[in-house]
Amino acid sequence: MSWRAISSTGRTTATSQPWGDRDRRFAAGTGRGKVTRKSDGWRLRNTTEAKGARGLMGSFWAVFASLQSGFPILLLQLGVALTIWLAGFAFLIRVTPYKSLPAIRSGNVAAALSTGGTAVALAIPIAICLAGSVNGWDIIVWGIPTIMLQMVAYWVTGLVVPHLGSRLEHRDMAAAVFLLLVRLGFACINAAAIAA
């Protein structure tokens, strides 16, 4: 049985057995009994009782310690994922056959729908990479190919719908909705392939 010695000041130390034969017999016989040694101010409890004594505050400090050790890793992985997402998004905005950001600023809803769909479609597979990642390299190794596959889907859609760029510049909502849905559909399939 594992024992934990708890002092009156709250300091704990792990022990393999109680200090003396009399103490060991008493604690083992009762299973839940507390052994108090008045000479040194220590009392013994078995490990399960000590865990119960910590209660909610012990759980809080365990979660807080987990946050302290895991928060830098969260920031690193989030930074890597956002960098890949922003790089892919910036590249796709650059290679579109029309100027999407000026079109959005001028109130072109079709361009906004298409560009926003690009942002969401790139984020879905990156989010799956982030959720299943072990470290930052894992996100890089899986994130970059998924962005490339999303770009291929964009160019294939451009082959299916001729003059897509000019149609979006002329505020063609049908082309924008079609492009949005194809990108989202491929993003879901891409994300499922990563998760499998």
Smallest CA-to-CA distance from 151 within 85, 88, 80 is with: 88
| Domain boundaries defined on the chain | 3-58, 65-195
Phi, psi (rounded to 5 degrees) for 46? -75, 165
Residues 169/107, Cβ–Cβ less than 8 Å: no
Neighbours of 34 (CB within 10 A): 13
pLDDT digit of tens for each residue in the chain (196 aa)?
444 444 444 444 444 444 444 444 444 444 444 444 444 444 444 445 445 545 556 687 788 788 888 888 889 999 999 999 999 999 888 887 778 788 888 888 988 988 898 899 999 999 998 888 888 888 888 888 888 888 888 888 878 877 888 888 888 898 889 888 988 999 999 999 988 7
Query: Taking the model in full, what pTM does it have?
Result: 0.63
